[in-house]
Amino acid sequence: MPITAKKHFDDDIARAWSIYQHTQLQLSVQNSDKKLCNDLMLSAVAMSVGAMDAYLCDAYVDCLSSSLRAYAQGKWPGTFPSGYKKQPLPAGEVLNNTRANRPLWSIRMAARKVMERENILSISRIDDLFNPILPAGKKLWPDFIAVLIAHNRIRFTRHTKSTTAGLKGKKLDDANKQAVAALKSRIAYIVQLRHDWIHNCSRPKSSITKLTKLKAHSAIRDIHILIDELDKHIESNRII
């Protein structure tokens, strides 16, 4: 993955952790403002989700544009993946006369323009966005979920290394599917915390959502784990 995408994520997730850690210092002070501390923890979680979204958008732009450039140069091995073939690009960017001497750069700018209008806050989209650049045997989620299970976080993936150890065939497939479902549910919950914070000041019904220190920490950590491991998986296995 391009250094910029991961570097920005590392910087942004560190900012989220800094807000969280500052909140813990505030909570240790006698007569601290508990409402303010709760708001700060919600802000930290929201920032972690923003860091995830920014990374996924930048990573997708890199994967798509790298694939298109490779195909245009005759360097793509085999048939071009249908997942990328059907992606519409803004003609204005592709045909921009100011880049006549850098036509391949126009492809990247066109891909970036597409993502300026979108976000990737639904984890269910991730496999569609990145599987086209991954070879058989390295696809999301079946060939990746074991990496997340190895973190032994039941709330994150439902299963741990010990609960999947020794499983084979259908039993292992079923356990992996359950882990993927748990992961999607967990990330969706964290993303919803961000949505509620941004759109209704964390009043999804009437009362303000209360986050404990453990819940806020776990939410940020799960986002952090997901993107760290996803980046390593894509970078280590991508076709181009």
Counted domains in the chain: 1
Q: Check residue 96 and give its pLDDT.
A: 65
Q: Is 20:216 a contact under the CB 8 Å cutoff? A: yes
Judge contact between 67 and 81, C-beta under 8 A.
Answer: yes
Number of other residues whose CB lies within 10 A of the CB of residue 141: 19
Q: Residue 172: its pLDDT value, please?
A: 97
DSSP the chain: --HHHHHHHHHHHHHHHHHHHHHHHHHTSTT--HHHHHHHHHHHHHHHHHHHHHHHHHHHHHHHHHHHHHHHTT-S-SSPPHHHHT----HHHHT-GGGTT-HHHHHHHHHHHHHTT-----GGGHHHHHGGGSPTTS-TTTTTHHHHHTT--HHHHS--HHHHTT--HHHHHHHHHHHHHHHHHHHHHHHHHHHHHHHHTT-SSSSPPP--HHHHHHHHHHHHHHHHHHHHHHHHH---
| Residue 231, in any domain of the structure | yes
How many CA atoms within 13 Å lie on the side-chain side of 67?
A: 26
Of 158, 155, 159, 157, the C-alpha closest to 218 is 155
Q: Is residue 39 part of a domain?
A: yes
Predicted local confidence at residue 87, as pLDDT: 76
- Backbone torsions φ then ψ of 123, nearest 5 degrees: -65, -20
Q: What does the pLDDT read at residue 113?
A: 73
pLDDT given for residue 101 in this prediction: 58
Cα angle vertex 71, ends 57, 118, to 5°? 20
* Domain of 37, in residue numbers: 3-77+120-237
Which pLDDT does position 108 carry in this prediction?
67
What per-residue confidence (pLDDT) applies to 156? 97
State residue 2's pLDDT score. Answer: 53
Q: Inter-axis angle of helices 169-200 and 213-237, to 10 degrees?
A: 120
Q: Is residue 131 part of a domain?
A: yes
Q: What angle do CA 181, 222, 175 make, to 5 degrees?
A: 30
* 113 is a domain residue: no
Residue 87 lies in a domain: no
Please return the burial class of 26, using the count of CB atoms within 10 Å of its CB with bins 0-12, 13-18 and 19+.
middle
- Is 28 a domain residue? yes
Q: Is residue 200 part of a domain?
A: yes
| Residue 71 in domain | yes
Per-residue pLDDT of the chain (240 residues; tens, 9 = 90+): 556 899 999 999 999 999 999 999 998 888 889 999 999 999 999 999 999 999 998 898 889 888 888 888 888 888 888 888 877 776 666 556 555 555 566 766 777 776 666 677 888 889 999 999 999 999 999 999 999 999 999 999 999 999 999 999 999 999 999 999 999 999 999 999 999 999 999 999 889 999 999 999 999 999 999 999 999 999 999 998
Give residue 92's pLDDT. Answer: 63
**pLDDT score at 102:** 58
Report in angstroms the alpha-carbon separations of 151 from 1, 38, 48, 183, 206: 22, 27, 19, 12, 36
